[in-house]
Amino acid sequence: MTRVKICGIGRLDDARLAAQLGADALGFVFWPESPRFIDPYRALEITSGLPPFVATVGVFVDQPVDYVRGVAQLLNLSAIQLHGHESPDIYPRHRRIIKAVAVTDAFDPRVAFTSLPSDVTVLLDAHDPIRRGGTGQIIDWSRAAAAARVRPVILSGGLTPANVANAVGTVSPYAVDVSSGVEAAPGIKDAAKLRAFFAALENVRAQQQAQVTEPAHGIFNRQL
């Protein structure tokens, strides 16, 4: 069954609605250069108001290891998402690690995944060296599908209520990750778009539920 991560959360109401609609994970961007940046203590206020069993993911871009570890400990993050040039090897595996990989014209999963340990979850996103993520750019789904045949992937990049069902059908990702596609403005989600996004996935997920076995690493397994 395709999991869903709603990224770029900046408000408690948005987080609660996403969780109510069925989000498996919520993403908080702790990179100050992002228009979706959130202060860790503000994020703590939001995560403290969430229902149980919703995973929380912190997004970082080439930031000091001590800062990443400190934020992860403060919020008891379920996973750390590395969106820069960081090596996952420098982080202990008591928290799940997600590593963003840019899908360019030269993308080859057999090469791109060589240096990534098998317990690191791959997130496929558009290539943008300035904004990193949340660009709204759609990646090449045929390349993403090839990558999904190599190992479980999280599909990101330009997903919207209008295209997510087609994306899932084409790529067969472990999970989808959406930010700008369900926003009214950076860091502010649009309730109607959120509902439409989950509605678009409802039939797809229902069909998958009885067919797909949960990958062993279970990055978005909900925790007590």
**pLDDT reported for residue 224:** 36
Cα first-last separation, the chain: 21
**pLDDT reported for residue 221:** 62
Least confident of 5-14, 94-103, 214-223: 214-223
Measured in whole angstroms, how far is the alpha carbon of residue 100 from the centre of its chain?
Answer: 9
Nearest to 57 by CA among 22, 34, 85, 27: 27
**pLDDT reported for residue 67:** 96
Q: Comparing 203 with 149, which gets the higher pLDDT?
A: 149
Alpha-carbon distance of 84 to 101, in angstroms, equals: 9
In this predicted structure, the answer to whether residue 187 has a pLDDT above a threshold of 60 is: yes
Q: Comparing 94 with 191, which gets the higher pLDDT?
A: 191
Would you list the domain boundaries of the chain?
A: 3-209
Q: Comparing 159 with 130, which gets the higher pLDDT?
A: 159
Largest pairwise CA distance in the chain: 43
Which pair of tokens denotes residue 37? 């940046």
Among the CATH numbers 3.40.50.620, 3.40.50.300, 1.10.1270.20, 3.20.20.70, which is that of 3-209? 3.20.20.70
If you write DSSP's letter for every residue of 117-151 in order, what string do you get? -TTSEEEEE---TTT-S---PPP-HHHHHHHHTTS
Residue from 7, 14, 24, 177 carrying the catalytic annotation: 7
Alpha-carbon distance of 56 to 5, in angstroms, equals: 9
Q: Find all residues with CB under 8 Å of 212, minimum gap 6, and list them.
A: 1, 2
For residue 7, indicate whether it is catalytic.
Answer: yes
Q: Comparing 22 with 205, which gets the higher pLDDT?
A: 22
**pLDDT reported for residue 127:** 59
pLDDT in tens, 103-155: 988 888 888 888 899 999 999 998 565 555 556 689 999 999 999 999 999 99
Residue from 14, 24, 125, 177 carrying the catalytic annotation: 125
pLDDT in tens, 59-82: 999 999 999 999 999 999 999 999
Most confident of 1-5, 212-216, 218-222: 1-5
Which pair of tokens denotes residue 183? 């926003």
Q: Find all residues with CB under 8 Å of 224, minimum gap 6, and list them.
A: 52, 53
